[in-house]
Amino acid sequence: MFLTISTTGIPERPATDLGFLLHKHPGKAQAFSTSHGTAHVFYPEASAERCTAALLLEVDPVALVRRGQGQGKGKGRGGAPDAALAQYVNDRPYAASSLLAVALSAVFGSALNGRCTARPDLPEQVRPLRVEIPVLPARGGAELVRRLFGPLGWAGVEVTAVPLDERFPEWGDSRYVRLVLEGELKLSDALRQLYVLLPVLDDAKHYWVALDEVDKLLRAGDGWLAAHPDHELITSRYLARQGHLTRDAMDRLELVRLAEADGREVEEVDNAVDEDRDTEEKPVPLAVQRREAILAALRAAGAARVLDLGCGQGQLVQALLKDVSFTEIVGVDVSVRALGFAAKRLRLDRLGERQSERVRLLQGSLAYTDKRLAGYDAAVLSEVIEHLDLPRLPALEYAVFGAARPRTVLVTTPNVEYNVRWESLPAGHVRHGDHRFEWTRAEFRAWAAEVARRHGYAVAFVPVGDDDPEVGPPTQMAVFTQTGPTATTTATTTETPKEGEAA
Ligand code: SAH
């Protein structure tokens, strides 16, 4: 089992920094004993221009089978008859697999976690990386390998099927591929992807999946798994198809996604999920700053009856409940799953009578007018509009500003200009996989001004979060205040006057 990681360098950033990053000296060949055999780390090349680290895992196949771990789940535990042969003929010593993933985390643990005491600046660096795995077991074939690594920021994902026997091409391909990944990534991101995806592709996890596997998966998947189009397949295979664990993980990934309206919130969720992980002092998460800004604006508007439109998992509803000046709070979301989380968070089933009279959760889509939403003091759309396809946005505008017509409407959305300040965000990417668009300050202002004009509102803008002199704040908020009566007599694109009706 063999894997190489290479990087190239420039004089200010020599390639041999890889040695610091991996905590393994490029001049030495080292051996580490791991639970499945001996892991060797050595550098076939190490110059300022180019440096390659190799990880070779020498597995003892017989010992592995004797320990009941040779051929993945099922085998070895109950002694299936074909396990007899598997003791002596199995691919574990040759193919990169879950064992290599375990060795990766054992030998390159600090690198995987993005720590480097000697050079704390290094783990944050995005470097040119090349990862090669000559023999990778890939259940699902080359296509699945491409699908899994494709969305993860690599410029090149080269997958070549390995023939069963080179002398007899007519025998077709084996279930192994050669994988070469090339691109500019943080080393820790690359290692965390491999740590999860190698066993996923192997699909024969060698050890009994324990409860903390879910934690390990979420930690290693932080920042990429929740938004991965194949997160369900990855989760299910990683957890060896243990239904209850997969569901647990899926629920938690959903939490991550729901709260992940921007880069910061992942940390917040992570902390909730795994409280004791990190006790360092952290800046106030953007999600918290946003809620504070929204609460302040609602108080300033004197709102008592409030709609939280696209309430997600109900954090804002919860904060509103804590302030008695909000007498009626209605959370609305299209996602039943999100509302389920919100209900749990709010402990709706256990609220006292007075509290439960103040709060309600409604399922509904903001793309349609909804009589239940009429007549409120204020409505909040916090990080919601960017989840709608642009062509659907006029329908939401009409449903909120034309039909429901609360006195005050607060709309927050990411300021795309700020994205260059998120270190973890590759250039040109939106903050969240489900964002259909992200606007500049000018685009948001133009949209808001037009909505205000059409529907009889005045609009002001409030920065949320660190207001960068150059690129502005991470979150932009528009505060709409109704100025006139219904302005819907001015026909908009979403409403065609019915025949016979005066336009
Ligand atoms: N307001 C929350 C959640 C933002 S995530 C917060 O600030 O954290 C966006 C939410 O909008 C999701 O919960 C999603 O389900 C919801 N949403 C997206 N499109 C919607 C629609 N058409 N109608 C109602 N809710 C919608």
Quick: pLDDT tens for 38-92.
Answer: 889 999 999 999 999 999 988 766 555 555 444 433 333 333 444 444 444 555 5
Residue owning tokens 């973890």 = 424
* Nearest protein Cα to ligand 1, atom 8: 259
Q: For residue 169, what pLDDT is reported?
A: 75
CB-based contacts of 283, cutoff 8 Å, min separation 6? none
Q: Is the CB of 312 under 6 A from ligand 1?
A: yes
Q: Which of 334, 369, 410 to mutate to test the pocket of ligand 1 (most atoms within 8 A of CB)?
A: 334
Single-letter amino acid code for the residue at 18? L
Q: For residue 383, what pLDDT is reported?
A: 96
Q: For residue 242, what pLDDT is reported?
A: 62
The alpha carbon of 287 and the centre of ligand 1 are apart by a number of angstroms equal to 14
DSSP letters spanning 225-283: STT-TTHHHHHHHHTTT-HHHHHHHHHHHHHHHHH-SSHHHHHHHHHHHTGGG--S--P
Q: How far is Cα 453 from Cα 455, in angstroms, rounded to an integer?
A: 6
Single-letter amino acid code for the residue at 119? R
Q: For residue 165, what pLDDT is reported?
A: 74
Q: For residue 370, what pLDDT is reported?
A: 95
Q: For residue 37, what pLDDT is reported?
A: 76
Q: For residue 317, what pLDDT is reported?
A: 96
In 3D, which of 125, 149, 130, 127 has the Cα closest to residue 138? Answer: 149
Q: For residue 261, what pLDDT is reported?
A: 44
Q: For residue 66, what pLDDT is reported?
A: 55
Q: For residue 475, what pLDDT is reported?
A: 96
- How crowded is the C-beta side of 210, counted as CA atoms within 13 Å? 3
Long-range contacts of 54-58 (CB under 8 A, 24+ apart): 54/2, 54/3, 54/4, 55/2, 55/3, 55/4, 55/5, 55/100, 55/103, 55/104, 55/107, 55/108, 56/1, 56/2, 57/1, 57/2, 57/99, 57/100, 57/103, 58/93
Which residue segments constitute the domains of the chain, with CATH numbers given? 2-208 (3.30.1610.20), 225-284 (no CATH), 287-493 (3.40.50.150)
Q: For residue 252, what pLDDT is reported?
A: 67
Is 151 strand, coil or helix? helix
Q: Is the CB of 258 under 6 A from ligand 1?
A: yes
Low-confidence ranges of the chain (pLDDT < 50): 68-88, 206-209, 261-282, 487-503
Would you say 99 and 92 are in contact if contact means Cβ atoms under 8 Å apart? yes
Instruction: List beta partners, residue 34.
Output: 37
Q: For residue 173, what pLDDT is reported?
A: 78
Q: Is the CB of 383 under 6 A from ligand 1?
A: yes
- Average pLDDT, rounded, for the chain: 82
Q: Give 421-449 pLDDT, tens digit per residue.
A: 876 676 777 777 788 999 999 999 999 99
Is 478 strand, coil or helix? strand
Q: Is the CB of 319 under 6 A from ligand 1?
A: no
Q: How far is Cα 503 from Cα 500, in angstroms, rounded to an integer?
A: 9
